[in-house]
Amino acid sequence: MKKRTNPYATSTPCCNNKRRRNNPEVVLPRAVFESIFERLPLIDIARTKAVSSSWKSSAESLPCSRLQKAPWLLLPPKDEEEENDTQSCRFKNIEENIAYCLKKKTSDLLFKFPCIGSSNGWLVLLDHTTFTPFLFNPFTEVQIQLPSLKSLFNISEIYQTDCGDYEVKFGKQSKYIDLQCLRHSFVSKAILSAEPVGDYCVVLIYNNNGHKLGYFRNGDKSWTEFDNSWSGKVFHGYEDIICFNNMLYAVDRNRGIRAWDLQSHPPVKRMEVTPAISEGANSFGDDDGELCNIRSSYLVESEGKFILVDKFVREGEEILDDCLYRTEQFRLYKLDLDGVQWVKLNSLGDRSLFLGGNHSISISTKDLPTCKRNSIYFTDDYWIRMLFKGWSYGHDNGIYSLEDGSCSQIYGFESENVHPLPCWIVPNSCKFDV
């Protein structure tokens, strides 16, 4: 029998063959490890980490930026209308176009507690019974408790009534709301400034219509309100927030940007500008002559530059069989070098955006060719309409092509109301295991 040779073997002699066999890192230099892991899908990286302790340590020692992977999409069970013990939420791996079932503990948490944000590989869930948020990593099942939000809203007590809704007491006043309103009326988005290790912050847009920003810094005992003062006479609330280079950037409904230095204690406002934008940018007429208006705006950092994304939604009784609203168009603008004007952007080139209830994400399709270039992946985050009983929600998802204006659906749902709502999450490649 012909002796098989090791294609990775070197000419360097080794006096300890046993050690060599049990330590693949001796055979494979670090550069080879990096080259292997950069080419593998996330699930295969996790499998290779199980080869040996040295493979595992090599993978986890690499900077996560070197292992950039496409976001995964949180999905409810296949048939959301069936209620049984075998229900399991799923994550759709965009790279492989495969949906993986989650563990029962993870599914139970996602069914029980509404998700108010997704950032840096973590979900921000809200325990509505105590109005206390917590961080949850759905891949490692690690939880990090955060302080209650009651002080931000001056809530003295909250409890569930016999009718199933919730009574929220503000001092001597009470308000009765259902769970869906409880989530979307108070917090519209929550993000992390970085992975929850060391000096990190959790930032959220809160209060009715998103008029305020609050933060929790690791080690704090409570939440703190940002300096929410503004120079303009009229302020209509915040639309989106992102963290970049230790700064928090927030875009309001007038397309203005405010920025705070998160390294300062407390954060110090460093910028407040309202760049000009062309007339007629707030609406457009569709093919039927009906007017579509902006329903959401997003701020995205892409290759060190800021992009403003406006989403236009059409509403009506005959839009879709299962939803009374549908995204029709996106318009993009980039901030000019002087920061005084939003300039229309017609193409993303070899990049794609992922928008929704998550930290807005831009990725390179050169590194991830399975993602569609010059496209926007989006999920349903029309919070205002979700507050109306009788309106179905969760169905407005898709991939919008800036090349030809077409939109293809990411996933179709069978139930009238989708729960839990789909959202994007970027797995931490270094910490992901199977």
Residue 339 confidence (pLDDT): 83
- Residue-wise pLDDT for 68-126, tens only, equals 578 999 988 876 444 445 578 888 888 778 888 888 888 999 988 989 999 998 999 99
Beta carbons of 360 and 298 less than 8 angstroms apart: yes
Residue 309 confidence (pLDDT): 96
Q: Which of residues 61 and 365 earns the better pLDDT score?
A: 365
Domain spans of the chain?
Answer: 19-64, 70-103+284-422, 113-274
Beta carbons of 364 and 352 less than 8 angstroms apart: no
Residue 12 confidence (pLDDT): 38
**Token pair of 406, please?**
């077409």
Residue 46 confidence (pLDDT): 66
Please, which pLDDT band fits residue 261 given cuts at 50, 70 and 90? very high
Residue 135 confidence (pLDDT): 97
Q: pLDDT exceeding 70 applies to what percent of the chain?
A: 74
Tell me whether strands 90-93 and 98-101 are parallel, antiparallel or unpaired: antiparallel
Is residue 16 over pLDDT 50? no
Q: Measuring CA to CA, which residue among 248, 240, 258, 237 is closest to residue 202?
A: 248
Is residue 1 over pLDDT 80? no
Please, which pLDDT band fits residue 152 given cuts at 50, 70 and 90? confident
Which residues lie below 8 Å from residue 69, measured CB to CB, with a gap of 6+?
41, 42, 95, 368, 426, 427, 429
Lowest mean pLDDT segment, chosen from 113-117, 129-133, 168-172, 274-278: 168-172
Residue 80 confidence (pLDDT): 47
Residue 59 confidence (pLDDT): 66
Average pLDDT over residues 32-44: 68
Is residue 214 over pLDDT 90? yes
Residue 13 confidence (pLDDT): 40
Is residue 243 over pLDDT 90? yes
Please, which pLDDT band fits residue 396 given cuts at 50, 70 and 90? confident
Residue 321 confidence (pLDDT): 55
Structure pTM? 0.83
- Residue-wise pLDDT for 282-325, tens only, equals 666 665 556 677 788 999 999 999 999 999 988 775 555 556 78
**Token pair of 184, please?**
């979307």
Distance CA 142, CA 16 (A): 40
Tell me the range of 149-163, 230-244, 341-355 where mean pLDDT is highest.
341-355
C-alpha distances in Å from residue 148, one per residue of 5, 127, 228:
61, 9, 21
Residue 28 confidence (pLDDT): 67
> Is the CA virtual torsion 413, 414, 418, 420 positive or negative?
negative
Please, which pLDDT band fits residue 344 given cuts at 50, 70 and 90? very high
Is residue 53 over pLDDT 80? no
Question: What is the residue-averaged pLDDT of the chain?
Answer: 80
